[in-house]
Amino acid sequence: MVLGSGLGGLADRLQAASVLSYAELPGFPAPGVTGHAGRLVLGESGGLPVALLQGRAHFYEGGRADAMRPAIETLAAIGCPALLLTCSAGSLRSEVGPGSLVSIGDHLGLAGLSPLIGEAGPRRFVDMSEAYDRALRGQLRQAAQSSGVVLHEGVYAWFGGPQFETPAEVRAARLLGADLVGMSVVPEVILARHAGLRVAALAVVTNLGSGMTSETLHHGQTLDAAARATADLTRLLDAFFAGLARRS
């Protein structure tokens, strides 16, 4: 699991946890964004073995879409069958406001980049027709119902950042079918699918898209909304992990 901005505290809930700094792990990124601790935490949740990446590197930090490749390939190498991504995102639907949780069902790679550029061989042609695993998404819905959490579903549009989107970009993304905008997730989904991992993703809505309100956008909103959503997200994840443990 990859923890997005302001969600690192979820790692404290793991039992029998072992912690490694990214600095100790060859190739792992050095996150440079507030709310990303840069640690790999190994432990259990509800009897399920879990590996948490407490923070990510973004394309806008160094101009590399493949910045998370060593970390994700490490998860695959140690036997993780699936990857759950979390992130902060702007909502393009006024009824899905700050603090809402959204299960991502598909994405638009509007940044026009791929972490597989330069990859050789036929494996680079990754099938993305079901990038977000249907069964895992169904299990997230079941977990939401059993835990009493409202979970929306939507399409995520990836912009490179670090600047927020313009009102025109938000209008264009809505016309293309997006429900969310953000600056992460998509490269990690591509890398995970390339590595053979099943993928699911959850977004915490931190703001409405640019131009949808008169509010000025800033990173502090991201951290504040993540803090407000932590209780719901924790209940959802507890139920999700418990469900996976029963099936394993």
Which pLDDT does position 228 carry in this prediction? 76
Q: Torsions phi, psi of 239, nearest 5?
A: -70, -35
Q: Which residues of the chain have pLDDT under 70?
A: 6, 31-36, 219, 221-223
Which pLDDT does position 38 carry in this prediction? 87
Which pLDDT does position 36 carry in this prediction? 54
C-alpha–C-alpha distance, residues 172 and 133, integer Å: 27
Residue type, 122: P
Which pLDDT does position 35 carry in this prediction? 54
Global pTM value: 0.93
pLDDT tens digits for range 142-188: 999 999 999 999 999 999 999 999 999 999 999 999 999 999 999 99
C-alpha–C-alpha distance, residues 62 and 162, integer Å: 11
- Residue for token pair 């591509």: 190
Q: Give the CATH number of domain 2-247.
A: 3.40.50.1580
Which pLDDT does position 213 carry in this prediction? 87
C-alpha–C-alpha distance, residues 88 and 99, integer Å: 10
CB of 65 within 8 A of CB of 113? yes
C-alpha–C-alpha distance, residues 237 and 245, integer Å: 12
pLDDT tens digits for range 92-112: 999 999 999 999 999 999 999
Residue type, 241: F
Which pLDDT does position 11 carry in this prediction? 82
CB environment 145-169: b (16+ within 10 A), e (fewer): eebebebbebbbbbbebeebbeeeb
- The proportion of the chain whose per-residue pLDDT surpasses 90, expressed as a percent, equals 75
C-alpha–C-alpha distance, residues 134 and 136, integer Å: 6
